[in-house]
Structure 1
Amino acid sequence: MRVGAAGLRAAIMAGLIATFFVYPLLRLLVMPFLSGHGAAGDWPAFAVSLLLSVGTAIVAAPLGALFALFTTTAAGPVARAATLTLWGLFLTPSYMLTTGWMIIFSGHALRATLAGQAFFGVGGLLMLYVVKALPFSALVARATLAAADSAPAEAAAIHGVPFIPRVRIGLRLLAPAMAVGFAIAVIETMQEFGIPATLGVTSHVPILTYAIYQHLAETLTDFAGASILCWRLIAVAAVFGGLAMACRRQGAAIQHGRMRPPARQRPARRRELAFAALTCLFALVGIVIPVAALFVRALQPLTASMPHPGAVLRSLGFGMVGATMSLGVAVLTLRLRAAGARRMTAVLDVALVANMAVPGLVLAASYIVAFNNDLLPLYGTRLLLLIGYTAGMAPLALRMMQGALDDLDPNLVAAARLHGLPRLTRLVDIEGMLLIRPFTYAYLLVAAAIMFELPVSELLYPPGATPLGVAIVTLDQMSDYAASARLALFGLGAMAGLALLLAAGVALLAAPRRLRPA
């Protein structure tokens, strides 16, 4: 009976995924074949995007592999600072990073210099792309190196292998992680939208993702042309995604059951100083300098009243509701898997993984095509915007909650049921208390990602409900940096306030209770 009920819930879940993922994508991607639309232009945008992505990966992949190797093998404050820097770069919205640097070079004196001219061109795009691609390459390579075996290094040390051959052996073992980081850096850079929507527009450099947006946002909407450009974007992601999977299998081929991960050791002083300097460089370029520029510009008086005054609270609400919906989908999917609906949950897993590979811009474009009709008139509503957020963030929520739910012992619930505890008590006092910390971390990460999300917001927000990311990018394009800086800082402050509030609530709820003596 339980398996049958689980199968019914899984079928309902599969129907929702088919409605809000498979159907919209098919509607968008088949449009060139049904409309007879010729090959779309924008080949310069595709060529520039591909060259920038490959150039970014050439720089970010080896740096990411070095960061991954250092943070997985080294101990000490520099290794911890490098890890925090990578996560800070990963979580910083790309358009906020770009806004900070555009504020710095917006003055006539700096803009006229060689550095200013390079920034408002391909050089600035490449710098920002590398900063945003580095954490992706490093974190992916770190996951690969975390399962590495310490035996080759120990054998080389025992047999007295010279330094140069040892470096060659290390590079060969590091090659799969570098290749995976390279492929991920290309994919993430090709799919990046925040940097092209800010610096790309100002510098007039054609970028593929912004070209897709222009096909959909202009008065004469060109859905078929946008579909062709989406095909190009997906094709690049498929090619490099296949390369990443092949490299991961090659790295897994040298793993075995008796592997021992290398122990963390304090590195040599010269090596630690080198990585300290590298960490400081990326922390300054990616976090400290742009945030300081936002603070300085935000203190300047505005020429008019504050534009988009409700964008911060509106996007905070979108983030909270969207995170609740995303985590609900993730927990339901994991519950269905645990209940035994194997085939259906396997289909759900494939759909969610495929959804993770689809750029948010392509997903939002497919929603415009699929839900802007009399049959499903959802376009232009907040509901469709929230559904778009949920569809994009559910895979992330699933991955974050999977470990916590898998570690939950089913015997606890069985014992509680055996002793007659009510269902609400089992959910709140047993499962809730055990899952409250990982659930809170996942909730905050998903809520922050939705609050500062840009491509889905740009294409799906309803009139009169401008999200925070759209408001900041719009002000940047109007060169109103004081207002955009204030909105960015207000948004960061609101998210920090939510994090502190939830952390305090978790600390109070999860605190051990003292039993009163009888």
Structure 2
Amino acid sequence: MRAARAALLGLLALVLLYPLARLLLMPLVSMPLVSMPLVSIPLGTAADAAAGWRPWLNSTLFALLTGLIVAPMGAAIAHALETRSGLAARALGLGLWGLFLLPGYVLTTGWLVVFSRPLLRNGLFGHLFLGEAGLAFLYVLKALPFAVFVARSTFASASASLREAALVLRLPGWRRMALSLRLVLPAMAAAFAIGAIETMQDFGIPATLGVTARIPILTYSIYRRLDTTPTDFTGAALLCWWLVASAALLTLLQCAVQRRWRAALVHGKARGQVRRPPAGGERLGLAVAALLLWGLGLAMPLLALAGVALAGAGEGGALHAVPRSLGYGVLAASLALCVSAALLRLQHGRHPLFRGVIHAGLTANMAVPGLVLGAGYVVAFNNDVLPLYGTALLLVIAYAAGALPMAIRLLDGAMAQRDERLDEAARIFALSWPTRLIDIEAASLIRPALHAWLLVVGAVMFELPVSELLYVPGQMPLGVAIVSADMMGRYGAAARLALLAMGVLAMLAVGLTWAVRLSGHGALRSGRRDELLP
């Protein structure tokens, strides 16, 4: 067991710590650099303006603006979702999940299709969208679900006694609003930090609309430094330091606000609030919010993609990118879940410090942008010692390493609910190791493992920054193929790729879910452990 733990920790250090350390330490120590042309696709000429401080300044301003917008907006929507019932509230919540799952560059592609018509492109809204306003609009759309999900946890634990006490004491409306604001300030700080960090680390939107509008953005500038010949690894590492430092400062700001207003949450963990149907202006406001979210965030871009895909049905496209990325996703998801399950089993019963170090390392890796992780892999595995660069194996390993924190979070709760007496009973009855693994552990975890596996497959299929840096020449993954088609103005091909991939994922999810349901596995879904005891 000790050897297995050491081997697993060594594997995590090799695929997570070593690439990041190798990249980030390049500006600080003298290291042999590799100078070779990387795979490039026609993503525009924004690199002309990418030098200097402008990319960092632009990214910082967009991040702060997005955080300032989504923090109060997310708190208001979260309060409505936790305290109001009805069709509009359910539609708003479902729309947020759809927007959360929709990749940023697919959303941008849909809007580029909308404004590809000369009448719209040459109008006021077209000029606004193809500039800073369009980037800010898309950043807000993609960051809003994160802000709402963070704030909902605060309102979900808020006590109904606060409102009742305020009404009994006949406090005026502005005092009640001030109390609610004080309660939600920590959640708003977290929403601001997460929205700003997600905006600063986003690569899909700058790689599409940012290039079209010729606005230098930090993440795309990092990519361009790695895409030049000779490759500027040191310059890219310096920009990565700006990215990591900015995220760290935003996180410290969030922690400071939460520590200052921690007392506001002390009384928010008692009797929960009863959801009430909205009345009058509230019903109208929720309906308008749901319509705007569905219309601007989902309906318009997806309908535009569907329309251009049908209109250019005869246009050729790299449709082979869909099964290729699906295969990458299946391999990476299977690898990530196997490593996650092994790590969770091996850390069971260990000292809390051991578990804390593991989870802290994985959380830090989750905060690292995919672009930085991909750049680290280029530096770490592009040498004579570990010559994996340019192979599909390295691409799958990078996908799995990036998805590992998410897979562990999704499996942790399900594995923590397993009763250890199952293993004891299996050993008493002298069941073989394959029987215990398949008929007990796999059968009891198949439902949460399937959900985690599907989420990782979907994330890997539409992954963009790691794909841009590590894909094998001549074998474009899905994200690279879509963005490449965008930059060449082939919106029909990009739309068909995106819609076909979504359809394949939906059919895969439905088919596997029904197969598991018909098989009768997953008896632990109700949480009653005694059902599986002998």
Q: TM bucket by the smaller chain?
A: over 0.9
Deviations 1:421-446 (A, max 9, x none): 33333333333332221111111111
Counterpart of 1:281 in structure 2 is 292
Aligned counterpart, 1:467: 477
Matches of 1:151 and 1:409 in 2, distance apart?
Answer: 37
Within 5 Å, which residues of 2 pair with 1:307-346? 307-340=317-350, 342-346=352-356
Matched, 1:53 2:63: yes
Q: Deviations over 1:440-495 (max 9, x none)?
A: 11111111001000001111111122100000001101111011111111111111
Q: Distance in 2 between matches of 1:490 and 1:238?
A: 38
Residue 173 (1) aligns with residue 187 (2): no
Give the Cα separation in 1 of the matches to 2:31 and 2:443: 57
CA shift for structure 1 position 302? 5.8
1:290 and 2:285 aligned:
no
1:421 is paired with a residue of what secondary structure?
coil
Q: Which deviates more from structure 2 when the two are superposed, residues 259-268 or residues 392-401?
A: 259-268
Native 8 Å contact 1:176 1:247 kept in 2: yes
Contact kept in structure 1, 2:158 and 2:269, CA below 8 Å: no
Determine which of 311, 330, 353 is the counterpart of 1:300: 311
- 1:453 paired with 2:463, answer yes
Evaluate the alpha carbon distance shift between residue 247 and residue 443 of structure 1 in structure 2; reply closer, same or farther with a 3 A threshold: farther
Which of 371, 375, 382 lines up with 1:372 in the alignment? Answer: 382
2:19 aligned partner, one-letter code? P
149-158 or 232-241, which moves further after superposition? Answer: 149-158
Alignment partner, residue 116 of structure 1: 126
For residues 365 and 511 of structure 1, the distance between their equivalents in structure 2, rounded to whole angstroms, comes to 41
Whole-Å Cα distance in 1 between the matches of residues 340 and 100 of structure 2? 22
TM-fit CA distance, 1:116: 0.4
2:311 counterpart SS class: coil
Distance in 1 (alpha carbons) for counterparts of 2:381 and 2:197? 28
Q: Which residue of 143, 148, 151 corresponds with 1:138?
A: 148
Q: In the alignment, which residue of structure 1 is the partner of 2:7?
A: 12
Residue-by-residue CA offset, 1:283-328 (whole Å, 9 max, x unaligned) = 1111111000000000123675x23231000001111111111111
CA distance in 1, matches of 2:170, 2:326: 58
| CA distance in 1: counterparts of 2:158 and 2:346, whole angstroms | 33
Counterparts in 2 of 1:261 and 1:282: CA distance versus 1, 3 Å? same
Aligned residue pairs total 505
Cα deviation for residue 420 of structure 1 reads: 3.4
Inter-partner Cα distance in structure 2 for 1:45 and 1:303: 39
Whether the 8 Å contact between 2:226 and 2:375 is mirrored in structure 1 is yes
1:352 counterpart residue number: 362
Give 1:31 shift.
1.3
> 1:77: which partner in 2?
87
- Which residue type is aligned with residue 299 of structure 1? L
- Asked if 1 retains the 8 angstrom alpha-carbon contact of 2:446 and 2:522, the reply is no
What is aligned with 1:27? 22
Spell out, residue by residue over 1:182-210, the C-alpha distance to the aligned partner (whole angstroms, 9 max, x if none).
01100000000000000011110111100
Tell me the distance in 2 between the aligned counterparts of 1:76 and 1:430: 41
- State the alpha-carbon separation in 2 of the partners of residues 486 and 311 from structure 1: 11
Pair 1:99 & 2:114 matched: no
One-letter identity of the residue aligned with 1:397: A
1:266 to 266, 277, 281: 277
Structure 1 residue 497, shift from structure 2 partner: 1.5
Measure how far apart 1:272 and its partner are. Answer: 2.6
Contact 2:458 2:505 in 1 (8 A): yes
- Provide the C-alpha distance between the structure 1 equivalents of 2:470 and 2:72, rounded to a whole number of angstroms: 37
Greater alpha carbon shift after TM alignment, 433-442 vs 285-294: 433-442
Identity %: 48
Q: Note if contact 2:186-2:258 (Cα within 8 Å) is conserved in structure 1.
A: yes
**Counterparts of 1:25 and 1:262 in 2: how far apart (Å)?**
45
2:63, 2:195 within 8 Å by CA — same for their partners in 1? yes
C-alpha distance after superposition, 1:342-361 (max 9, x if no partner):
54443322211110010000
Tell me the distance in 2 between the aligned counterparts of 1:286 and 1:457: 25
Q: Distance in 2 between matches of 1:257 and 1:162?
A: 21
Q: 1:512 to 1:140 in 2, by over 3 A?
A: closer
CA distance in 2: counterparts of 1:147 and 1:400, whole angstroms = 22
Determine the C-alpha separation between the residues in 1 that align with 2:260 and 2:451. Answer: 33
Write out per-residue CA displacement over residues 129-151 of structure 1, whole angstroms, 9 at most, x where no aligned residue. Answer: 00000001111122233322333
Q: 1:512 to 1:166 in 2, by over 3 A?
A: closer
Q: CA deviation at 1:271?
A: 1.1
State the match for 1:239 in structure 2: 249
Mapped partners of 1:35, 1:285: distance in 2: 49
Question: In structure 2, what is the equivalent of residue 385 of structure 1?
Answer: 395
Q: What's the counterpart of residue 489 of structure 1?
A: 499
Does 496-505 or 113-122 show the bigger shift? 496-505
Q: Indicate the residue corresponding to 2:530 in structure 1.
A: none
- Taking structure 1 as reference, are residues 229 and 257 closer, same or farther at Cα in structure 2, changes over 3 Å only? closer
Question: Post-superposition shift, 1:363?
Answer: 0.5
**Paired residue secondary structure (1:378):** coil
Specify the alignment match of 2:266 in structure 1. 255
Measured in 2, the distance between the counterparts of 1:303 and 1:489 equals 16
CA contact (8 A) 2:318 2:493 kept: no
Give the stretch that moved more between structures: 189-198 or 12-21: 12-21
CA contact (8 A) 1:10 1:345 kept: no
| 1:280 Cα deviation after fit | 1.5
> In the alignment, residue 225 of structure 2 is paired with which amino acid?
H
SS at match of 1:160: coil
Over the aligned positions, Cα root-mean-square deviation in angstroms equals 2.1
